[in-house]
Amino acid sequence: MSQGFVTTVVLLVLGFPLIGSLINAAFGSAKRRGLVNIVGTVSIGAAFVVSAVALIVMLTAASSHRAVTVTLWNWYVVGGSLSVAFQATLDQLSIIMLLVVTGVGFLIHVYSVGYMEHDEGVARFFAYMNFFVFSMLFLVLAADLVFLIIGWALVAVSSYFLIGFWYERPSAVAAARKAFITQVIGDVALVIAAFLIVTNVMSPIGTHIYSLSMPTIFHNVASFQYGSSTVTWICLLLAIGAFAKSAQFPLHTWLPDAMEGPTPVSALIHAATMVTAGVYLIARFHPLFDRAPIIQGLVACVGIGTSFMAGIIALSQVDIKRVIAYSTMSQIGLMIYAVGMGAYAAGMYHLVTHAFFKALLFLGAGNVIHAMHDEQDIRVMGGLGKRLKITEKSFLIGSLALSGIPLFAGWFSKENLLGYGVLNGPGHVALLLYIIGVCINVLTGLYAFRLWAIVFKGEPQTARPAAAHEAPRIMLVPVVILAALSAIAGFFLWWPVAFGSVRVQDFTQFLSPVFTSITSGPLAHEPGVASGWIGMLVGTAMSLIGVGGALRLWLRREPDAETVASRIPRFITQLSMHKFYFDELYDAAIVRPLRAVAKWCRKLIEPEIMDGWVEGVGIGVDDLGNTLQPFQSGLIRDYIAYMVFFALLFVIIIVGVVVR
């Protein structure tokens, strides 16, 4: 690929969504709904077409020539010591992210046309959505850490806008704020990591030109020892950034609340793209992580722990979107686990398939909510399958893919991911993580089919499901396409195909130049064929147990789910229902003390000290003015008298002090 081609691709891919966003922001309104819908969807569709062309061109190139970094703009160069340039990298990793973001994004935008049909803020919605896509593409294309951080913050701010889209709802505003504040913790960690990189990673090779260009960082980091403390600290900070973005423990509480946003937002930002940016970050910075085994272990443990916890919570939630949100958290936990184990390609593979089936589940849930007139509580649903036939079938495919039922997309990616961990990594810990991982398979099957069974099967719990109607065609087409992708994407990405001069490799092989070109740590080696098979068989068996259990508990109701729940120790069900009390914990540990400090400041510092000081200045000036005011009489005589008086005083001082 030539530099010129890549530059064109980058400019077009970034330009379409940005221009779409600007047009909708400047000229869009509810009255011009047609224009808004066309601009909003076509801009993303065009970006997808450009990305697809770029993929085809990339595939025609030899695999060693597929990564191209171009410099689009020199932001600033400080006297030969620091340079920051907007560099973009188009390589195997970023093209996959581009395709996922624009492809799934395009389908979700089309869906939004139907979903937002009666909303007055449709122009604002599409302006935000396009801006989000722009930010996300900016983030994945950036090859300079400074611009990566800018993209990182821009996606957070678009997420903030979209969670708080219905700003007249106090709960939406609170959720938006919570998400933003949590993400800022990650932003700060990233910025500190950038500082550490500037001061430490640039010096060893003796150059004094500091640069945050990622290829340079990866080149320089090769001179660091395995397990070096500098790299460990940098990776810890990068991991915190990734955890905040990807809703991992302990920065995970914002994701369920983020479901206050419109459902397409949840599908695009909080399932398919933005929350997976943490996985992308760790994969992108693998040369650093490969040198920090402690942090790799930490990342893997946090990922699997979050995944397990979210799986348990998802079992007891009653809000349809929250169940899917916890499922998202759980699946991203698995991806984080994979990249922590050094299985970067496996993590990215699951990222792609997850984007398909999770977007599908969210859009399906959107159809259900639409049909139920904004009702999200699954306890009042039931029997919707008779009414929403297409949605129900698509949702079923999504759930099958999510649970990892053989031959659906999720099966390929998840068993690949878990199988990677079996004999890979430091001994017993890796085995333990793997065992937890397959237990998560059971949980996944349980909560996925619990949701499906309660919402679509059984008897309607209220009169409303009986009156529900299927969504309009524009909302069904994206769902059906995503369902098809969830069903076949596994094959698509698994088997190498060749036609003409275009060689399509399997996913892992396609990505492998990115992950091995610079360096690889001792963890990053391919699993043996045997361990892969064992992992697959065990994982598949566990998934089937989960699905079977869910169907017995919630579909056939023998035994009934409630009676089973009553037999489980009470503290477990309580933990699940109260989301492990994290909201309460943070409320008590952070929110309330802060609020107390704020109140104290309001009561004491503000009126007494701040106001006192400010008002004191005002009062003092006023008094001074009142004192001096009579001296301005307007009479020349008085002024001359002052003159004479001060002239005399001056003479006396001169005579008294200077002359003597």
Partner 1 sequence: MSTGDFQFLLFLGTLLFMIGATGVLIRRNPLVIFMSIELMLNSVNLVLVAYGRALNSLAGQVFAFMVIVVAAAEVVVGLAMVTRVFRAEHTLDVDRLDEMKD
* Residue 651 interacting with partner 1 (CB under 8 A): no
Distance CA 431, CA 366 (A): 39
Is 509 a residue that touches partner 1 (CB under 8 A)?
no
Q: Which of residues 306-335 bind partner 1 (CB under 8 A)?
A: none
Nearer to partner 1, 501 or 632 (CB): 632
* Beta strand residue intervals within 112-260, DSSP E: 210-211
Pair 377, 461: CB distance under 8 Å = no
d(CA 18, CA 41): 12
373 vs 637 by CB, closer to partner 1: 637
Q: How many CB atoms lie within 10 A of CB 85?
A: 18
Decide: is 659 part of the binding site for partner 1 (CB under 8 A).
no
Q: Which of 644, 651, 652, 654 binds partner 1 (CB under 8 A)?
A: 644
In angstroms, what is the minimal distance from the CB of 653 to partner 1? 19
- CB nearer to partner 1: pick between 597 and 644: 644
CA separation for the pair 28, 30 (Å, rounded): 7
Q: Which one of residues 26, 62, 635, 657 is an interface residue with partner 1 (CB under 8 A)?
A: 635
Helices (H) and strands (E) in the chain, counts: 28, 5
Phi, psi of 504 (to 5 degrees): -100, 120
- The least distance separating partner 1 from the CB of residue 631, rounded to whole angstroms, comes to 11
Which helix or strand (DSSP H or E) is residue 547 part of? Answer: helix 529-550
CB of 638 to partner 1, least distance (A): 9
Site for partner 1 (CB under 8 A): which residue of 53, 429, 564, 641? 641
Alpha-carbon torsion (114, 116, 118, 121), positive or negative: negative
Residue 620 Cβ vs partner 1, minimum distance, rounded to whole Å:
24
Q: Does 250 sit behind a cis peptide bond, omega within 30 degrees of 0 on the bond before it?
A: yes
- Interface with partner 1, residue 628, by CB under 8 A: no
| Span near partner 1 by CB under 8 A; candidates 175-183, 233-241, 306-314, 637-645 | 637-645
Starting at the earlier edge strand, list the strands of the sheet with 68-78.
Answer: 68-78, 82-90, 210-211
Q: Is 517 in the site for partner 1 (CB under 8 A)?
A: no
Q: Based on CB atoms, which residue is closest to partner 1, 567 or 637?
A: 637
DSSP code at position 120: T
Three-state DSSP string of 391-414:
HHHHHHHHHHHHHCCCCCHHHHHH
Does position 627 bind partner 1 by CB under 8 A?
Answer: no
Segment near partner 1 (CB under 8 A), from 23-31, 79-87, 185-193, 626-634? Answer: 626-634
CA 473 to chain centre: 29
Which lies closer to partner 1 via its Cβ, residue 78 or residue 644? 644
Which is nearest to 274 in space by CA: 378, 182, 385?
182
Shortest CB 642 distance to partner 1, Å: 11
**Cβ neighbours around 393 below 10 Å, total:** 16
Site size with partner 1, rule: CB under 8 A: 9
Shortest Å distance, C-beta 644 to partner 1? 6
Contact call for residues 94 and 151 (beta carbons, < 8 A): no
469 touches partner 1 (CB under 8 A): no
Asked whether the beta carbons of 375 and 388 are under 8 A apart, the reply is no
The smaller minimum CB distance to partner 1, of residues 601 and 652, is found at 652
- Residue 428 vs 637, nearer CB to partner 1: 637
Residue 637 interacting with partner 1 (CB under 8 A): yes
| Residue 633 contacts partner 1 per CB under 8 A | yes
The DSSP secondary-structure symbol of 559 reads S
Cβ 643 to partner 1, closest distance in Å? Answer: 10
Closest distance to partner 1 from the beta carbon of 165 (Å): 59
640 sits near partner 1 (criterion: CB under 8 A)? yes
Through-space distance between the first and last CA atoms of the chain, rounded to whole angstroms: 91
Q: Is 225 in the site for partner 1 (CB under 8 A)?
A: no
- State the amino acid at position 321 in one-letter form: K
Q: Does 500 bind partner 1 (CB under 8 A)?
A: no
Binding residues vs partner 1 (CB under 8 A): 632-637, 640-641, 644
